[in-house]
Amino acid sequence: MFRFIKQIILIGFVFLLGYIFGLKQVRFYRITSSSMEPALQLNDRVATVKLDRILRGMIVVLLDPKGSNDILTKRVIGLPGEKFEVRQGAVYINNEKLDEPYIAEPARYDFARIKIPDNAYMLLGDNRNNSEDSSIWGPVEKQLILGRVFCRYWPIKKLGFFLQP
């Protein structure tokens, strides 16, 4: 019972922070796909904060690059100016294999090497083989990225914070 009360207080605290720090543009979203499993599950609720800077490994929310009104959740993998490719199930950044302990399984596709344009990022879902992401759209412009996920507040039993990488 004490743990349940503690979790309710933490959720209240997260919402209070969102209210107080409205200038930081704290926003709340529902996860609408399985593309970020295992880190985030379908129907999880997350809190985001406006980005000061974008780092590899961050989980971000973004506007759908295809132009729909959908809000998507992906992980930042490639940064502006880097060379990005996927081969034999692994991501390579500047010809170095990226360590990705968070993915559900290795990719079953290849993506030819590209240089990521300035002001753009490669964003992939952790559930690589069930994610519509930069492996399909290519680099995503910075202006489409809305914020960084910093907290999962629902379901309560999975309440937790995502620290910056």
From 24, 34, 35, 131, active-site residue: 35
Separation between Cα atoms, residue 129 and residue 18, nearest integer Å: 34
Is the distance from CB of 40 to CB of 31 less than 8 angstroms?
yes
Give the helix, strand, coil percentages of the chain, each rounded to 5. Answer: 20, 35, 45
* Structural tokens at position 90: 């692994």
Q: Active-site residue 74, yes or no?
A: yes
Residue type, 156: I
Separation between Cα atoms, residue 78 and residue 6, nearest integer Å: 38
The 3-state DSSP class for residue 143 equals helix
Separation between Cα atoms, residue 82 and residue 93, nearest integer Å: 7
From 33, 74, 97, 115, active-site residue: 74
Catalytic residues: 35, 74
